[in-house]
Structure 1
Amino acid sequence: MTKAQETVLVFGDVLDFIGDPNKLGEQAHRYFSPGALLIKNGKVLEAGDKNDIQNKHASLLTDSKVEIKDFTGQLILPGLIDTHIHFPQTEMIGAYGEQLLTWLEKHAFPAEQQFHDSEYATGIANIFIDELLRNGTTTALVFGTVHPQSVDAFFTEAQKRNLRMIAGKVMMDRNCPETLSDTAESGYQESKALIEKWHGVDRLSYAVTPRFAPTSTKAQLDNCGKLLKQYPDVYLHTHLSENKDECKWVQSLFEENQDYLSVYEDAGLVKKRAVFAHGIYLSDREYKSLADNQAAISHCPTSNLFIGSGLFNLKACEEHDVTVSMGTDVGGGTSFSLFQTFNEAYKIQQLQDNSLSAFKGLYLSTLAGAKALDLEGTIGNFQPGCEADFIVLDNSPTPFLTFRLKQCKDLEEKLFTLMMLGDDRCISETFVMGKSIYKK
């Protein structure tokens, strides 16, 4: 495991969020230019104005044991948080031409069948994690496959890098290839074993992961609820109301239920630490239930557009006070970059006469992700005690972006430009627990 440096002093332009820009306006973010981060044993001691921190901790500047990182003039942000992504679909990202249900059969399921092989799973896990870090993502909520060895491989590689990651074995006991099917009982037992092996080990956590309602029987969903009761601090991670045909299918499979979310409610799955990907076609009742039960939605715009699923109603979520975060949904999503994910999220809101500011987009990719994962105060910003996962942006990522950024008049315009035109090339360096883990 990578060890955190004891004391690190970081200089640069520091930006983070302490609340939702739509609720707090200008008070939602903190910006220190020039700023500084003081880190000890991998956690933030203080973030603030550079001169204030230098004056307050003058002795650190001459202490040979203190590591000083000078990124003067560069923007420092909290590590990005991806709340919905499939690591076994890394190899088939950008697969051509299908809507959700045929896309699963033609592209996703064949790719996932290979993860019975531990060596293969380890190879893909390394490529996947390297891509996350290259794109500035330091925490993700991750789908494995039905094979327990897929989760073992992912957690093993994440643990080596000291990453805060959450993942789970997919549970499917119907409407899927036989090679990807478990049973209500085997899915329960294998998930239970993985929870006891990995949950709470170092910075790793487990998510109970039924793929979506159509591929689980009521018995399997009930066993998911049983696991959540037995292990109250594990996560629930699944899909919800992504595609119109999917919603019709759920209605035909669960005729006794009034809507899609109620299928999960009946199994006791709608709760804090439950993250539902997509949530495009929801009723007022479902929005209210998500909010009342402190469950979250992961908005996955590149996937929603690529697979042709629909336009996410962010305004309705805000009106109902539903927690929303951002997910790339690789491989239905077309980029590991949360900057590119904002690019598409902005356009989706434009099509609905709704504005999405750069501040809101960056909030959705940092602190809102921490809130969705019930990790506010642990990751997501630079409050004292938070784990020091952060990224440094490149001031000259490409010749054209260098030119374009020079035209920006203020911080918000610079952020918007980076998030509309940027990608992994904008990430200069990624830090985990105060230690550099990726450098451009």
Structure 2
Amino acid sequence: MNTERKLKVALLGCGSVGSEVARIMTTHADDLAARIGAPVELVGVAVRRTGRPRPGIPGDLLTTDATALVKRGDIDVVIEVIGGVEPARGLITTAFEHGASVVTANKALLAEDGPALYAAAEQHGADLYYEAAVAGAIPLVRPLRESLAGDRVNRVLGIVNGTTNFILDKMDTSGAGYAEALEEATALGYAEADPTADVEGFDAAAKAAILAGLAFHTRVRLDDVHREGITEVSASDMASAREMGCTVKLLAICERSADGTSVTARVHPAMIPLAHPLASVHGAYNAVFVEATAAGQLMFYGPGAGGSPTASAVLGDLVAVGRHKLNGTRGPGESAYAQLQVAPMGDAVTRYHISLDVADKPGVLAQVATIFAGHDVSIDTVRQQGKDGEASLVVVTHRAPDSALRAVVGELRKLDTVRDVASIMRVEGE
């Protein structure tokens, strides 16, 4: 170990993740030093207010001037866990300009402006590491950009948001409605006071953009990701899924096209068979399937959020970046050489589960089937139940382009015999 050289670290943010990072850096200082090859010194912690006590962190390390901290010039690594786009973007760029490498957990910023951050890191000979940005403690970024660098990844499919998984799991196992399940998630601390980023799919979409970029060596921005949340998922959707031997999960799906020339990235609720491993992911846990040509199917599972799990991933990156600093080397930068086309959601190939309220009279099923055939969409199964002049018609399709399936739904809504398109949900994992 090089005891003469200390690795100086600045921490931006001291919330649930930042405070855990600082605590572990203190309590595991000897282990970190042994793994990196030099002692680690926390030289400053940027916070919004310095008056609140923060156990284990000396008061003289606290500062409200984050810009001055990253401009010091003697910092080796800046750890950014404040989140959001600004001021994080400016602080990270300034850190690179003043000789520091960066470890971040900022999925929103990476999804929106990852290429610019990579370029700034490259320009200044610095590292940009972000294992904690995608799935908490689950090692996923490093396997994609290092372990599978010699393979061809074809698909990434997973549950990457613990809040929505808790809500949907509660709805499935207890029969609760969406509002009731959200209320419990909030009471237990799984959902924020404003849960929009989670329940509307923004959090998962940012992660999908990052995963797609890594998997397919192509720049994928947040705007490229089709996004649907879970707020419209109902107890009747859950019941329909159970009748099919399925459950409902919010999935992030990143796929390479069959001809290999394009990719799609999407986030939406979907029915998956109970036999699929993702169906058994309960509570606030995350799990991601990676399908590669040579490696086959790989599954990564674990806690996807929380102070301690996320801090674990941050500190793993700190060890890697610290070693590079001591050795005068760098880790992998951006890999976007493939430059594949990012195709719209309409090009994605999927299946639909469509529940219709229709008039209970002869010829309705034939009308419905004609519309499906007109868009070259094959029907897998049909279930019909009539009562008092009304009927419920449930159609499950074979795989087809999403654009064709949406066109079918549009025409179904225009039929006089269709009272309502009660529910539309995609079916995955088969």
| Structure ranking higher on relative contact order (CA contacts 8 Å, 6+ apart) | 1
Larger Rg: 2
- Bin the TM-score by the shorter chain: under 0.3
TM-score (normalised: structure 1): 0.25
TM-score (normalised: structure 2): 0.25
